[in-house]
Amino acid sequence: MIGRNDVCWCGSGKKWKKCHYPQEPNKAEASPSELYFTRYGIILKTPQQIAGIRRSCHLAAQILDATCRMAKAGVTTMELNDYAHELHLKAGAIPAPLGYGSPPFPKSICTSLNEVICHGIPDYRPLQDGDILNIDVTCILDGYYGDCSRMVCIGDVDAEKQRVVDVSYKCLMRSLDILAPGLAINKIGDVIQSYAEDHNCSVVTQFVGHGVGLRFHEPPQVPHHRTQIDTPLAAGMIFTIEPMINAGKKEAVIDKHDKWTARTIDNKPSAQWEHTVLITDAGYEVLTLL
Ligand code: MF3
Ligand code: CO
Ligand code: CO
């Protein structure tokens, strides 16, 4: 039985009492939205929500592109953070990481260098020749979230770093290729883990892709490794794929002091690329393209 303060069955994301109340969900002819919400907690987005999330994703991609272009030897990740922060404000958007979670994330973007897997915090260390850097931008525009990240190579990087950068990019692209309604979600992890292991890399399992759009992190979880989770994709689903690929062991260790920075256990390099995607009747749309 649905309660007044529960999320409405129609998929709006609003409380029932503010939406379709007192109309009850119709059990006999449940719509895909009702089914996905009750069964998996997944909100299939309405056309209006999709339009808003598409705009937010496009902005995130633009901010990410501009910030990546600033990343050169001698520049600090704090300078990148401050630049990206300004771009959010100029566009009337909010950087989602700032103040997110507990303890609250202290900066506006994530900058993850070399052996840092994800959630690196911008600081005053200048970028150096040979560094690999992930920049992760999530913006909130008109209440809608868009999430994407990319790698930047600073000058000449060694073969091991180049390998994780290239393999993580290919893992993301190959997993996008197969997306379509009806596909079991674990096919994504199958493709990524196979490609990574064929190229002498490991897949991080402690962090996963995620539903996104109305909140920063929504169901479903999207593992990048092999699992038994066979939830079928459906038109209107919006989620990220963001494989974190390591040159050595797959294990992540969270920094004891800041509680965010996730590093490889063997200090070998790690790389990640991220897109937000929409499942459509025809297949899929990458929302975080320029
Ligand atoms: N953008 C990251 C993701 O892809 C999440 C960062 S959480 C933060 O899911 F608090 F570190 F920003
Ligand atoms: Co994400
Ligand atoms: Co992200």
Q: Is the CB of 136 under 6 A from ligand 1?
A: yes
Cα 22 to middle of ligand 1, angstroms: 37
Cα 173 to middle of ligand 3, angstroms: 16
Q: Is the CB of 97 under 6 A from ligand 1?
A: yes
Of all atoms in ligand 1, which is nearest to the CA of residue 109? 12
Protein residues placing their CB within 5 Å of the ion ligand 3 = 136, 147, 149, 274
Name the residue of 136, 150, 212 to mutate for ligand 1: max ligand atoms within 8 A of Cβ: 136
Determine the pLDDT at residue 6. Answer: 85
Name the residue of 119, 121, 208 to mutate for ligand 1: max ligand atoms within 8 A of Cβ: 119
Determine the pLDDT at residue 42. Answer: 98
Tell me the backbone φ, ψ of residue 79, rounded to 5 degrees. Answer: -65, -40
Q: Report which protein residue has its CA nearest ligand 1's atom 12.
A: 97
Cα 22 to middle of ligand 2, angstroms: 35
Q: What is the pLDDT of residues 174-224, one digit of tens each?
A: 999 999 999 999 999 999 999 999 999 999 999 999 999 999 999 999 999
- Is 11 a residue whose pLDDT tops 80? no
Of all atoms in ligand 1, which is nearest to the CA of residue 105? 10
Q: Is the CB of 112 under 6 A from ligand 1?
A: no
Determine the pLDDT at residue 13. Answer: 84
Q: Report which protein residue has its CA nearest ligand 1's atom 2.
A: 136
Q: What is the pLDDT of residues 86-127, one digit of tens each?
A: 999 999 999 999 999 999 999 999 999 999 999 999 999 999
Q: Is the CB of 218 under 6 A from ligand 1?
A: no
Burial class of residue 69 (count of CB atoms within 10 Å of its CB; 0-12, 13-18, 19+): exposed
Pick the more confident residue, 16 or 266.
Answer: 266
Q: Report which protein residue has its CA nearest ligand 1's atom 8.
A: 97
Determine the pLDDT at residue 7. Answer: 85
Determine the pLDDT at residue 27. Answer: 63
Here the tokens at position 249 are: 């062991």
Taking the model in full, what pTM does it have?
0.91
Q: Is the CB of 68 under 6 A from ligand 1?
A: no
The rounded distance, in Å, linking the Cα atoms of 241 and 183 is 15
Q: What is the DSSP secondary-structure string of the chain?
A: ---TTSBPTTS-SSBGGGTTTTPPP-STT--HHHHHHHHH---PPPHHHHHHHHHHHHHHHHHHHHHHHH--TT-BHHHHHHHHHHHHHHTT-EETTTT-TTTTP-SSSEEEETTEEE-PPP-SPBP-TT-EEEEEEEEEETTEEEEEEEEEE-SS--HHHHHHHHHHHHHHHHHHHT--TT-BTHHHHHHHHHHHHHTT-EE--SS-EEE-SSSSSEEEEE-SS--S--PBP-TT-EEEE--EEESS---EEE-TTTS--EEETT---EEE-BEEEEE-SSSEEETT--
Q: Which residues contact 172 (CB under 8 A, 6 or more apart)?
A: 192, 241, 242, 243, 273, 274, 275
Determine the pLDDT at residue 29. Answer: 80
Determine the pLDDT at residue 1. Answer: 74
